[in-house]
Structure 1
Amino acid sequence: MIDFAKIRAIDFHTHAEEACGCHADDGYDELQSTMAKYFGAPWSHPPTIDVTAAHYREKNIAAVIFPVDSERETGYRRYDNYEVADACAKNSDILIPFASIDPAKGRLGAREARDLVQNHGIKGFKFHPTMQGFYPNDRMAYPLYEAIAEAGVPALFHTGQTGVGSGMRGGNGMRLKYSNPMFMDDLAVDFPDMPIILAHPSFPWQEEALSVAQHKPNVYIDLSGWSPKYFPKILVQYANTILKKKMLFGSDWPMIAPEKWLDAFDKAEFRDEVRPLILKDNAMRLLGIES
């Protein structure tokens, strides 16, 4: 189990990638290498869950980690949630496992979600509307949301532009329209007790994200995917004031290393009393962890 009293931070946004390079037949390796170039990531192949755990253990940072089930939309074989749960269980001193289920799986996906939470230690769920090809407020997704809400765990949604497919022909089929954070306002109304996290500075819809997070008590923002030195001024302003208990540290590992994000965060214009909230305290409260 994670000793939350001793870790320095909780990274709320890290990706679990397949453990082997088995994707030459479907284009996944090309997608990953192009995205790594976009972010300036130093690796030649994405790190495994064990490698991720070792890195975070060395840095004394706990990590929320998840796959993305986008096989219906992209054709890329998904990283099975049960495999991810097993790998995280072996690294339970540092990793907090989230799962990912395509909401188009309907009741079957809802059954999987319930089983993952009840029997396999899953602590939340990740959605990527652009990769999964759906509007987050599509009623098709509601059976899955109902299962997540019943379980009392968070749902984390990619918002804004994405590095996935950036620069590739046709954006590799990725449609940015699905990831406008305003769609999450409907979810916050219809599932008022389900914690909802808007991932990333939501370019070009930053003010929409701040509006939804301010208006709806169950909506949070993770600050992953951008270096803090590039954060919009209004995002820092809200993080320092009315949304200081709604902001979460996230890196977007393996595209951005946590230590690189934290170094930029140290130099950014965040108030001293707000920093511990962003780095750990808000995440602990959201995850239901007592300090």
Structure 2
Amino acid sequence: MSLNDDIVAIDVHTHVLASARERAAEETVESAEHAKAMAEYFKRDFTPPTVHDLAATYRELAMMCVAFTVDSSWATGEAPEVSNDEICELAAEYPDTIIPFGTVDPHSGRRGAREVRRLTEMGAQGFKFHPSSQAFYANDRDVYPIYEAIEETGTVALFHSGHTGAGAGRPGGGGIRLKYSNPMYADDVAVDFPELRIILAHPAFPWQDEALSVALHKPHVYIDLSGWSPKYFPPTLVQYARTLLKHKMLFGTDYPVLPPQRWMRDFARLEFDEDVTRMIMRDNAAALLGL
């Protein structure tokens, strides 16, 4: 993939939440409750976007975006709302806008590793993991065949880290355990797969210092700034984004729960200098993704 000169930013964290090919006739009780809880948590109603919707939104903004879904089928018993194949195939229609990532069940071992290789051939540039939703520790040795495949294919592993809006406010948190998403578990992955490029997604509350430490210590670990309005960023995160980790920070929104326009408006109030802003908004991601 190539980066056009007129692209002003690369959003490394957006969700495809609906299929453009198979709109469900009716929501399941589980999906309806999840959607309601997410809307209440983020205080924002939104229509679940398809790949086409993402392309239209980000083309209008002169941005590119990384797009993915999450396979939590082992933990929830429900298949993702949209398939990896659909995301990769439709992304090929928008090479100037959509950067497809895949998702694999971390409990699938060598079958998951084969899926990584197959999806890479279809154009997937990386793979999204959500330890809390998928109910696994990043350093579980059973997942290592999947990381080995990601490292071999030269793609990226993106891990949710810290608190999550998924399940928030529901009885028992919707069965989601926060403990899995401590970014220190990804530190083991960075040690055992030294060439694997890793993104720790989100300000990692309540483990922000752990995430900063891992990114500072491991040369191929990055942090994306998605899921939170910048006005809520912890002071230590802002400090490191201005200085020691300015080359490791990546613009991300968690769209559709946070619109790019709001993220950028709130980020501007932090008054980063122009060079660092350009690195965070575009150049760091372009280098990481080989654009």
TM-score by length of 2: 0.95
2:43 alignment partner in structure 1: 40
Local SS of the residue matching 1:77: coil
Comparing 265-274 and 153-162, the one that deviates more = 265-274
| 1:143-154 aligned within 5 A | 143-154=145-156
Matches within 5 A, 1:186-197: 186-197=188-199
CA distance in 1, matches of 2:174, 2:25: 19
Q: For residues 7-156 of structure 1, what are the structure 2 equivalents within 5 Å?
A: 7-19=7-19, 20-21=23-24, 24-25=27-28, 27-43=30-46, 45-78=47-80, 79-118=82-121, 120-156=122-158
What is the rounded CA distance, in whole Å, between the counterparts of 1:90 and 1:29 in structure 2? Answer: 30
Q: How far is 1:3 from its partner? A: 4.2
Give deviations 1:15-41, integer Å, cap 9, x for gaps.
Answer: 011223456335112202211221122
Compute the displacement of 1:49 (Å).
Answer: 1.6
- Residue 275 of structure 2 aligns to a residue whose secondary structure is coil
Write the distance in 1 (CA, Å) between the matches of 2:233 and 2:26: 34
* Contiguous gaps of at least 5 residues in structure 2: none
Pair 149,34 (structure 1): closer, same or farther in 2 beyond 3 Å: same
Question: Retained in 1: the 8 A contact 2:10–2:64?
Answer: yes
Change in CA separation of 1:187 and 1:3 when aligned onto 2, cut-off 3 Å: closer
Contact 1:129 1:136 in 2 (8 A): yes
Following TM superposition, by how much is the alpha carbon of 1:89 offset from its aligned partner in structure 2, in angstroms?
Answer: 1.4
| SS of the residue 2:167 aligns to | coil
d(CA) in 1 for partners of 2:4, 2:230 = 24
> Equivalent residue for 2:182?
180
List per-residue Cα deviations over 1:222-242 (Å, max 9, x = no partner). Answer: 000000011011000000011
Q: Which 4+ residue blocks in structure 1 deviate beyond 4 angstroms?
A: none
C-alpha contact (below 8 Å) 2:158/2:200 kept by paired residues: yes
Unaligned runs of 5+ in 1: none
In 2, the alpha carbon distance for the partners of 1:142 and 1:8 equals 36
Q: Match for 1:265: what amino acid?
A: F
- What does the per-residue CA deviation read over 1:195-244, in whole Å, with 9 as the maximum and x for residues that have no partner? 00000000000000000000000100000000001101100000001101
**Is 1:4 aligned to 2:4, yes or no?**
yes
Question: What percentage of aligned pairs have identical amino acids?
Answer: 54
Q: Which amino acid aligns with 2:87?
A: V
Number of residue pairs the alignment of both structures matches? 287
Which amino acid in the other structure matches residue 42 of structure 1? D
- Structure 2 CA distance, aligned partners of 1:182 and 1:144? 19
Contact 2:15 2:49 in 1 (8 A): no
Cα offsets for 1:145-204 (capped at 9, x unmatched) = 000000011100000000001001110000000000010110110011010000000000
Could you tell me the TM-score, scaled by structure 1's length? 0.95
How far residue 273 of structure 1 moved from its aligned partner, in angstroms, is 2.1
Q: Distance in 2 between matches of 1:189 and 1:4?
A: 34
- CA distance in structure 1 between the partners assigned to 2:197 and 2:187 by the alignment: 12
Q: 2:251 aligns with which of 244, 249, 252?
A: 249
1:272 to 256, 270, 274: 274
C-alpha distance in 2, partners of 1:102/1:233?
35
Please provide the CA RMSD for this pair.
1.3
What residue is the counterpart of 2:237 in the other structure?
A: 235
